[in-house]
């Protein structure tokens, strides 16, 4: 539920940058849940999101679709305006294009275009823990890891 999602978010934030480890849960909660409603804090993310943080976000909320060779971030907990901000962030930071797709009424997720999905995977690949390699589409590396464990 929400408590589990909050703890995952806080851990992801701490992985973004070393200085985030010193932030209290309350400081981080305030950035993402001002007034008790979840938002995408554009300026905060622009300042703090590293490749490692992006990899944690992907491992938690991401998926890779083999057929379409596309990366998705499951952002259903954010409103449409926040997804527009996320699209802008990815375009400005890395030059990637993604689309806000409607999953259900008022629930949207981001899907990156094929070419930028490959760039996304290249950017986060070295930060992905072995047990999550299947999310990158690298089933061979994942199966090798799984066989060894």
Angle at CA 97, nearest 5°, toward 62 and 14? Answer: 45
Q: Whole-model pTM?
A: 0.81
Write the pLDDT tens digit of every residue in 10-41. Answer: 666 666 555 566 666 777 778 888 888 889 99
The predicted pLDDT at position 15 comes to 64
Write the pLDDT tens digit of every residue in 61-98. Answer: 999 999 999 999 999 989 999 999 999 999 999 999 99
What is the spatial distance between Cα 57 and Cα 35, in angstroms, rounded to a whole number?
23
Query: Which candidate, 104, 21, 98, 10, places its Cα nearest to that of 57?
Result: 10
pLDDT band (50, 70, 90) for residue 49: confident
Phi, psi of 107 (to 5 degrees): -125, 120
The predicted pLDDT at position 10 comes to 64
Write the pLDDT tens digit of every residue in 102-131. Answer: 887 778 999 999 999 999 999 999 999 888
More confident residue, 83 or 142: 83
The predicted pLDDT at position 53 comes to 86
CB 13 within 8 A of CB 48: yes
pLDDT at 9 over 90: no
The predicted pLDDT at position 68 comes to 92
Q: Can you tell me which residue has the tokens 């070393």?
A: 18
Angle at CA 79, nearest 5°, toward 74 and 104? Answer: 60
């Amino acid at each position: 539920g929400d408590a589990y999602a909050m703890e995952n978010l806080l851990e992801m934030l701490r992985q973004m940058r070393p200085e985030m480890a010193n932030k209290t849960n309350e400081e981080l909660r305030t950035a993402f849940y001002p007034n008790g409603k979840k938002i995408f804090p554009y300026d905060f993310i622009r300042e703090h999101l590293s490749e490692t943080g992006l990899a944690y976000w992907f491992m938690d909320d991401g998926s890779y679709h083999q057929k379409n060779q596309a990366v998705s971030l499951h952002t259903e907990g954010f409103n449409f305006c926040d997804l527009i901000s996320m699209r802008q962030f990815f375009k400005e930071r890395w030059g990637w294009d993604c689309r806000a797709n409607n999953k259900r009424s008022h629930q949207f997720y981001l899907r990156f275009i094929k070419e930028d999905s490959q760039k996304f995977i290249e950017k986060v690949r070295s930060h992905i823990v072995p047990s999550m390699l299947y999310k990158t589409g690298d089933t061979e590396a994942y199966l090798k890891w799984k066989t060894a464990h």
